[in-house]
Amino acid sequence: MGKRYAFVHKNLCVACGACENVCPKNAIKVKKGIYANVDEVNCVGCGICSKNCPAGAIDIRNRDEEKFDKDSLKEQEKKGVCPMCQKMATNIPYTPIIPLPTDKRKGGNENE
């Protein structure tokens, strides 16, 4: 297992199979014609798939950066840090939904 691996952005992948055709380790496969899936164990992070992806849907990432400590995430959530963006969450006051005004005419003609 290498220090890097390929990461597929599923919402950008067009399932063309270009990455599957060029992977020297056969670590990437297009599943059910929907998107490419990377076998992170076999992927060495060479970047050939990323360079050949016509949709730009593949990034090469470092494995060390992707490891999260679950305990530290829980601590950050207690402090109000967003687990996705790692920034402090803002406290937005609750605003109740205000009902739209209704037509209060009574006995009026419906065809108006």
Those residues with Cβ within 8 angstroms of residue 59's Cβ, 6 or more apart along the chain or in another chain: 6, 7, 9, 50
- Separation between Cα atoms, residue 105 and residue 88, nearest integer Å: 49
Dig out the tokens for 84 from the structure: 């996705």
Tell me the average confidence (pLDDT) per consecutive run of 10 residues in the chain, 112 residues long.
88 94 95 90 94 95 65 56 54 55 58 52
Joined together, the tokens standing for residue 41 give 């164990």
pTM of the entire predicted model: 0.56
pLDDT score of 55? 94
pLDDT of 63 reads 81
CA distances from 4 to 25, 77, 99 (A): 14, 28, 53
User: Which of the four CATH numbers 3.30.930.10, 3.40.50.300, 3.30.70.20, 1.20.1630.10 does domain 4-66 have?
Assistant: 3.30.70.20
